[in-house]
Amino acid sequence: GESVGLHLPTLSVQEGDNSIINCAYSNSASDYFIWYKQESGKGPQFIIDIRSNMDKRQGQRVTVLLNKTVKHLSLQIAATQPGDSAVYFCAENTGNQFYFGTGTSLTVIP
């Protein structure tokens, strides 16, 4: 299977600060990447995606950056809110298969 990892298993940020969650992937052939948010007891929720021919994509308060040279993906959350507390997963797609990292647990401190 593919190897998708995260640099840090936990991250704590102050409410209102920006959060950055990082992810490394190993398969150079992967051409599509996704970030998910998983709240306790629920299924992962799609946040934002990016194709390998892009370096950056922005959504509402979130930005995904892709560095193909070092096979690194990051999710930036602006003005982090208590509702952002969750586990965040990156995923890479090759063909019909999606492989997930182990997740980073984000805690927002009020």
- The Cα 34–Cα 100 span in angstroms is 9
Q: Is 65 in contact with 7 (CB distance < 8 Å)? A: no
DSSP state letter for 41? T
Least separation in angstroms between residue 89's CB and other proteins is: 7
Three-class SS state of 97? strand
63 touching other proteins, by CB under 8 A: no
Least separation in angstroms between residue 30's CB and other proteins is: 11
Q: How many residues make contact with other proteins (CB under 8 A)?
A: 24
49 touching other proteins, by CB under 8 A: yes
Q: Which two tokens stand for residue 52?
A: 């390998």
Closer residue to other proteins, CB minimum distance, 54 or 109 = 54
Q: Is 58 in contact with 9 (CB distance < 8 Å)? A: no
Residues that bind other proteins (CB under 8 A): 1, 32, 34, 41-46, 49-51, 57, 89, 91, 93, 96-103
